[in-house]
Amino acid sequence: MAEQPGTDEEDFDPEGRTLSVIVPVFDERNTVVEVLRRMRRVKLPVHLEIVVVDDGSTDGTSQILGALEDSTVQVVRHPTNQGKGAAIRTGLQHVRGELVLIQDGDLEYDPEDWPRLLRPILRGRSQVVYGSRFSGEGGSMAASEWVGNRFLSLTTNLLYNTSLSDMECGYKLFTRKVLDDITIDSDRFDFEPEITAKVLRRGYRIYEVPVSYSGRGADEGRKFAWRDGVRALSTLVRYRWGKL
């Protein structure tokens, strides 16, 4: 379901809720300072908590994060790199908010889109909200990545009888109630199809909203490879009929 335009933040009913943002980070010394700066300046109708999981960085990211930690930003560290899914699993052990958002540690996604993601949940329309890069601004995505993402979303729709446009989008927002009902097994990028499969099989509706996107290439630090796409496909099939 797409968001309807022309809505204002003043319509929100936050009820004193807290948004916990989990930021998995691996070797992002060139972007993590700017990402956190952007996160801190977003105007929100809820309280904010940021949990950064340094997933075994070896490029100096850990030292930079140590200087950025404060009352809003908590840093948790893995001694070795374990993958995005493992970092999110660790982050979930430390968050306290009723709402949980995943934010990548690069500059591909803009925190200014957070209010747009929050709106359907705060209005009681859904308990799960995904961003969609295909209906937002930017769109600097390589042709192969575009085709791969579209194919995985189409496969998701066929297997789970849904209508997602961007299953792999890094922006995923959940109520804590949804996540407390799900066990995450994946350690790497297959977190995206796993959490999607389990959310849909448990009967939750996923609400999509457009988000801006500024993709980067492998030479700029992008870590998702074609092998991760193959793993995502097998994950979708495995969880369609497998035991939850």
Residue 40, in any domain of the structure: yes
| For residue 222, pLDDT beyond 60 | no
Which residue range(s) make up the domain with 161? 12-239
pLDDT digits (tens, 9 = 90+) for 88-147: 999 999 999 999 999 998 889 999 999 999 999 999 999 999 999 987 666 567 777 888
Cα–Cα dist 32/55, whole Å: 13
Residue 90, in any domain of the structure: yes
Q: CATH number of the domain that 48 lies in?
A: 3.90.550.10
Helix (H) or strand (E) holding 47: strand 47-55
- What is the per-residue pLDDT for 99? 98
| For residue 10, pLDDT beyond 50 | no
Residue 5, in any domain of the structure: no
Residue 7, in any domain of the structure: no
Residue 183, in any domain of the structure: yes
- Extract long-range pairs of 31-36: CB within 8 Å, 24+ residues apart: 31/105, 31/106, 31/107, 31/221, 32/61, 32/64, 32/65, 32/68, 32/105, 33/64, 33/68, 34/107, 35/103, 35/105, 35/106, 35/107, 35/111, 36/68, 36/73
Residue 29, in any domain of the structure: yes
Residue 6, in any domain of the structure: no
From 72-76, 132-136, 205-209, 214-218, the region with the lowest mean pLDDT: 214-218
What is the pTM (predicted TM-score) of this model?
Answer: 0.88
Number of domains in the chain: 1
Task: Work out the angle at residue 224's Cα, subtended by the Cα atoms of residues 108 and 143, and round it to the nearest 5 degrees.
Answer: 75
Residue 63, in any domain of the structure: yes
As given in the structure block, the two tokens for residue 114 are: 């957070």
Task: Work out the angle at residue 132's Cα, subtended by the Cα atoms of residues 126 and 30, and round it to the nearest 5 degrees.
Answer: 115
